[in-house]
Chain A
């Protein structure tokens, strides 16, 4: 994957680049906000990691102009400000995720993978994570090459979880997306459906975690 890192602290930038290189990504690094903004106008990336406080142009400004151009590249904000207000501005402004400095590189790598995966396969129709391969076109998911035989609704559910990795989804969210308006499913039906999908996914890297009273969160086990 091609990643753009916009970070003015060179030491931090180097360590992040080392780590993401190790994961097999191609990384460009830009230290200046203005230059990064120009670069983004001309080149397409699969993911943008950006600091908020940048010389030249702030991360929020870069993000706003990206979204104003219709550039939907996933953006992960690195911020040193821990107050949530700022994060929300970022998320409302179209950021896909944020992580607070000092960053744990393992955590950062996991977030990057999740963001890339949310979109991966949308173009190629194929989502891969560890031993799991999911073909969106034929709606077939395999673990270690073995078809796990998903039903229609389970395919939809899997797509939703993949599109929202590391985000909490309530049962209502899932019901809204999987069922049509007049089917009016019971929350029990949703639970059973998730349970079935989880069973079929066992042995694979996708973990569907239940948070009682809140909903579900899907993540990919550390590779």
Chain B
């Protein structure tokens, strides 16, 4: 910006210089013209030819500029000098005319401005041009131009400075509400989540509201995290406490059978603790990913197939019948905005719940269906199901004693995908979990 401003200043200065030079020429040229005119008035035809009597006043007029030197020559059209210095420089191809002709040249070691002006003398059988050439060194007029220019630029700088001052003042004034907001934010305690005060003008109010919205979201996220950490602390401590109790009890048992029984219990407790820890981490990961990883456009059935194939491997030792069905045509691609890992975790938890809470032989069926602009992912099991009255509460973390976090994770995944989560009864009398995803436009991947 500074460079641009400097360029503008320089071009203005150049403009002023050319204007000042023109103005100086204009003024001093008038003096030259006046002198030439006065001389030409005194030219006359005598029987011996043209003659001139230079009026003293004419040269005095030019001599007003003290430091300048003056040159003159009066000559006829054929180049005969009547009076003055015979060797003054001439412009190329000069034809005598009664119009004044000015030109600048270097003469006698100085810059000189010359004027040529002619007069046609006629009378007594005589007719010829008489030309007056007057030159004046440029010292006075250049000094005049310089002075004009310096004054003009000084004025320009003054106006610029005043203008910048106004701009600075204006910007400060316009930004002062922002400075107020900045001060409010800078001295804020990290624990302070109160909204910042809205101050006029109106233009800043929407900014303030946005910042307040952000503060609110942060507070909510922090509250969630704190509640979650409290849950985690409680659950893991309880679980590990139980495990430690069982092991202590086992080590004190003198009866070998009793000891075996305690160790068996401890092992089961350890497995519950592992499952709980995995679920806690899975839940934390889903929440974390919701804040950090964008959804990607994917074909739901493909993602479900891949994830399901992977999950099944971990449950081969349980007597379970798995199936995937879809009412889409084999080549029909329905795109949904997905987090693949989220879907995988949701499925894994549903399979895990079905197997943990149900009785063998287990049956887990996945259905993918399409209805206008929606894609449904349905997971049915043949477990004990959940009473309708408890549907809302099981989706919360640690709400029920037995379900653990599984459905809370599924709920978090659904929320993350803006999917509707519906709990119901499966045809086999178990739980049906249905996630309804909005479909995005198809086309190329």
Interface residues of A (CB under 8 A from B): 82-85, 100, 102, 104, 106-107, 110, 166-168, 207, 209, 211-215, 217, 219, 222
A166 to B312, CA, bound (A): 9
Residue interface bits B169-209, CB-to-A below 8 A is 1, else 0: 00000000000000000000000000000000000000000
Given contacts A85-B341, A213-B324, A222-B317, 8 further A-B contacts (CB under 8 A): A82-B285, A84-B341, A104-B274, A107-B317, A168-B312, A209-B316, A211-B309, A213-B323
Given the known interface contacts A82-B281, A211-B322, the answer about A168 and B309 at a Cβ–Cβ threshold of 8 Å is yes
Contact yes or no, B316 A166, CB < 8 A: yes
* Interface of A (DSSP majority class): mixed
**Which residues of B have CB within 8 Å of A214?**
305, 308-309, 312, 322-324
Contact yes or no, A211 B323, CB < 8 A: yes
Within the complex, the shortest CB–CB distance from B323 to chain A, in Å, comes to 3
Name which residue of chain A comes closest to B340, CB basis. Answer: A84
A112 to B122, CA, bound (A): 131
Please tell me if B326 contacts chain A, counting CB pairs below 8 Å. Answer: yes
Residue interface bits B253-283, CB-to-A below 8 A is 1, else 0: 0000000000000000001001001100110
Contact yes or no, B313 A167, CB < 8 A: yes
Contact yes or no, B317 A110, CB < 8 A: yes
A110 to B313, CA, bound (A): 11
Which interface residue of A82, A83, A213 has the most chain B CB atoms within 10 A? A213
Please tell me if B314 contacts chain A, counting CB pairs below 8 Å. Answer: yes
Within the complex, the shortest CB–CB distance from B116 to chain A, in Å, comes to 92
Given the known interface contacts A82-B278, A212-B323, the answer about A217 and B285 at a Cβ–Cβ threshold of 8 Å is no
Contact yes or no, A212 B322, CB < 8 A: yes
- Count, A-B residue pairs, CB within 8 A: 59
Contact yes or no, B285 A219, CB < 8 A: no
Please tell me if B344 contacts chain A, counting CB pairs below 8 Å. Answer: yes
Q: Which of A82, A102, A212, A219 contacts B325 (CB 8 A)?
A: A212
**Which residues of A have CB within 8 Å of B277?**
102
A110 to B316, CA, bound (A): 10
Given the known interface contacts A211-B324, A213-B323, A213-B326, the answer about A84 and B344 at a Cβ–Cβ threshold of 8 Å is yes
Contact yes or no, B305 A82, CB < 8 A: no
Name which residue of chain B comes closest to A214, CB basis. Answer: B324
**Which residues of B have CB within 8 Å of A104?**
271, 274
Interface residues of B (CB under 8 A from A): 271, 274, 277-278, 281-282, 285, 305, 308-310, 312-314, 316-317, 322-326, 340-341, 344, 366
* Interface of B (DSSP majority class): helix
Given the known interface contacts A82-B285, A83-B341, A85-B341, the answer about A217 and B312 at a Cβ–Cβ threshold of 8 Å is yes
**Which residues of B have CB within 8 Å of A168?**
309-310, 312-313
A212 to B312, CA, bound (A): 12
**Which residues of B have CB within 8 Å of A166?**
313, 316
**Which residues of A have CB within 8 Å of B271?**
104
Given the known interface contacts A82-B282, A84-B341, the answer about A213 and B316 at a Cβ–Cβ threshold of 8 Å is no
Contact yes or no, B316 A219, CB < 8 A: yes
Which interface residue of A100, A167, A168, A211 has the most chain B CB atoms within 10 A? A211
Contact yes or no, A107 B314, CB < 8 A: yes
**Which residues of B have CB within 8 Å of A209?**
316, 322
A211 to B305, CA, bound (A): 11
**Which residues of B have CB within 8 Å of A167?**
313
Within the complex, the shortest CB–CB distance from B224 to chain A, in Å, comes to 20
Given the known interface contacts A110-B317, A166-B316, the answer about A212 and B324 at a Cβ–Cβ threshold of 8 Å is yes
A211 to B282, CA, bound (A): 26
**Which residues of A have CB within 8 Å of B322?**
209, 211-212, 214
A219 to B312, CA, bound (A): 11
**Which residues of A have CB within 8 Å of B316?**
166, 207, 209, 217, 219
Within the complex, the shortest CB–CB distance from A197 to chain B, in Å, comes to 18
**Which residues of A have CB within 8 Å of B278?**
82, 100
A216 to B295, CA, bound (A): 31
Within the complex, the shortest CB–CB distance from B334 to chain A, in Å, comes to 16
Within the complex, the shortest CB–CB distance from B371 to chain A, in Å, comes to 19
Within the complex, the shortest CB–CB distance from B389 to chain A, in Å, comes to 33
**Which residues of B have CB within 8 Å of A211?**
308-309, 312, 322-324
**Which residues of B have CB within 8 Å of A107?**
314, 317
Within the complex, the shortest CB–CB distance from B388 to chain A, in Å, comes to 29
Which interface residue of B285, B314, B340 has the most chain A CB atoms within 10 A? B314
14 contacts between A and B (CB under 8 A): A82-B282, A100-B278, A102-B274, A104-B274, A106-B317, A166-B313, A209-B316, A212-B322, A212-B324, A213-B323, A214-B324, A217-B309, A217-B316, A222-B317
**Which residues of A have CB within 8 Å of B324?**
211-214
**Which residues of A have CB within 8 Å of B308?**
211, 214
A214 to B368, CA, bound (A): 13
A217 to B323, CA, bound (A): 12
A104 to B275, CA, bound (A): 11
**Which residues of B have CB within 8 Å of A100?**
278
A153 to B102, CA, bound (A): 113
A82 to B366, CA, bound (A): 23
Name which residue of chain B comes closest to A218, CB basis. Answer: B316
**Which residues of B have CB within 8 Å of A84?**
340-341, 344
Name which residue of chain A comes closest to B326, CB basis. Answer: A213
Within the complex, the shortest CB–CB distance from A82 to chain B, in Å, comes to 6
Within the complex, the shortest CB–CB distance from A217 to chain B, in Å, comes to 6
Within the complex, the shortest CB–CB distance from B84 to chain A, in Å, comes to 100
**Which residues of A have CB within 8 Å of B313?**
166-168, 217
